[in-house]
A and B are shown apart, each in its own frame.
Chain A
Amino acid sequence: MDYLLQHPGTVAWRTLQHIELVAAALAIACAIAFPLGVVVARKRRIGGIILAALNAIYTIPSLALFALLIPLLGIGTWTALVALVLYAQMLLVRNVAVGLRGVSPALIDAARGLGMSAAQIFWRVEVPQALPVIVGGVRLASIALISLATLASWIDAGGLGALVLYGLQHDDPSRAVAGALAAAVLAIVADVGLRRLQHRWE
């Protein structure tokens, strides 16, 4: 607690950095995962291949994923961003696909019968119906990324992990605790906030 009370500015700055990294990764990950999820929901064979590939990435131990990227991208924020985006794909794509597949065929039939085009059915019926499940995926991914991003400091990408890492290396446990605590609070806030959003749409 000492560290937090003595250096609130540093903790706040590291927290902001952490949020930036996670938010950027999540935004990019969602932009990629949405179209991938649509493909997985609609094309059985290609979808199976995509899911298998994402699953493989997901099972790589997270620290090892960072390490594997270093020869390709060097160290720094960009590498961390790529690792987080890759890691989030599995959770996001799977939920987009599950959400879309779960839309009742009778509902789609009714929409066709009323004269909606394929695009109108997708945006006005399928996506709104799948939204709670999709937001559920975003919630899981954001929690995973908040935790994962603490490792980003290993490759010099800053964030709350920097406090933890420095604290451990320099025998300064209160600094490490401050970092860990802030990360935990972030995860809880994200969880509660997105859960609310999810229920609003159900």
Chain B
Amino acid sequence: MEKPGGASLRLHGVTVRYRGRAAVDGVDLDVAAGEFIVLLGPSGSGKSTLLRTINRLVLPDAGTIEIDGRDAAAEPPEALRRGIGYAIQAVGLFPHLSVARNIAVVPELLGWGQARIAARVEALLALVRLDPARYRDRYPRELSGGEQQRVGVARALAAEPRLLLMDEPFGAVDAIVRADLQEETLRIHRMLGTTILFVTHDVDEALRLADRIVVLKDGCIEQVGSPLNVLANPATDYVAALLDSKDAVRRLQLLNARDALRSATARPEMAKGDDWPRVTPQATLREVLSVLLGGASRTMVANDDEVLGSLSFDDVRAALARTEG
């Protein structure tokens, strides 16, 4: 599958009022092409409303939205939406259409030829790891919740959008399936380079997926930053409480063994304890910690062919301390 790349996005002073009350209040946000942005906030904080101003399902009362430098309001809304992927909770699949026809909705609206659509459906099912031969002709009610979500993602990606909006797309599935779908989403993001705006109120989901997290409160942006940054340096008490920043385990999950080695005490030449358990440089510090809790005094960080160093409890603690700015 070719890489369509991502669109850049610029929101300026976006405001939406319902009966005089602002649901979204003067939001400014610049998103670079290919970024994975997560909108995080409690129920009613304006996440969905903000997302829906971008494909004009909600018309802002004030402010402008530019996609790739072009004013979104200048285009007919239907044409704009066909160019932007939109995935929501499972209910969004059409029950009377097969999986293939569901995925084909936007290509059909765009007037693609039958052969091109069929090929695209195959490719997308493969992309979301559903066997085309098995799933193409099924109906949504014949799918599990997780499979429905995959089809929803495939449908959103059907017309090769450069911008993908996802509103709590994995809200209705259990934790294991959810983790699986998150992994898939990250893989697809890396593969296609699509700019993604993802809404959730699940903090761990946000930390796991985001390049940058946008924390919303009452329609205003409280803080924008990388997961580690928002977690380690919450701008306000609200952000600290929302993310439960004191939770060290959460932060350990965002750091890996390679990061921690930078301040580690033992250098490679000293790290010769053959009985120390091994972890890869990509292992999170949470994994390192659990290995250490297993009883070893140090754990060795190593690739297949190269030992990079070793880590102790103190090293893990030091790495954590360094994130606090």
What is A's interface to B at a CB cutoff of 8 Å? 104, 106-107, 109-117, 120, 125, 128-129, 131, 201
Contacts and interface: CB of A to CB of B under 8 A. Distances in A.
A136 to B, nearest CB: 16
B109 A110 contact: no
A173 B57 CA distance: 68
Contact of A110 (B82, B83, B92): B92
Main secondary structure of the interface of A (DSSP, over half): helix
Nearest to A129: B96
Contacts of B93: 110
Interface string B271-309: 000000000000000000000000000000000000000
Given A109-B57, A112-B57, A117 B94 contact: no
A185 B269 CA distance: 95
In the complex, which range does the number of interface residues on chain B fall in?
A: 20 to 34
B198 interface: no
A75 B174 CA distance: 68
A125 B94 contact: yes
B109 A115 contact: yes
Considering the complex of A and B, which 4 residue pairs feature the smallest CB-CB distances, nearest first?
A115-B82, A110-B92, A115-B81, A113-B86
A114 B96 contact: no
B81 A113 contact: yes
11 contacts: A104-B91, A107-B91, A111-B94, A113-B57, A114-B155, A115-B78, A115-B81, A115-B106, A117-B78, A120-B109, A128-B94
A104 B88 CA distance: 14
Given A128-B96, A129-B96, A114 B57 contact: no
A112, A113, A114, A120, most chain B CB atoms within 10 A: A114
B79 interface: yes
B4 interface: no
Contacts of B49: none
A112 B78 CA distance: 8
A117 B79 CA distance: 10
B95 interface: yes
B11 interface: no
Nearest to A120: B109
B55 interface: yes
B92 A107 contact: yes
Interface string B69-92: 000000000111111001011011
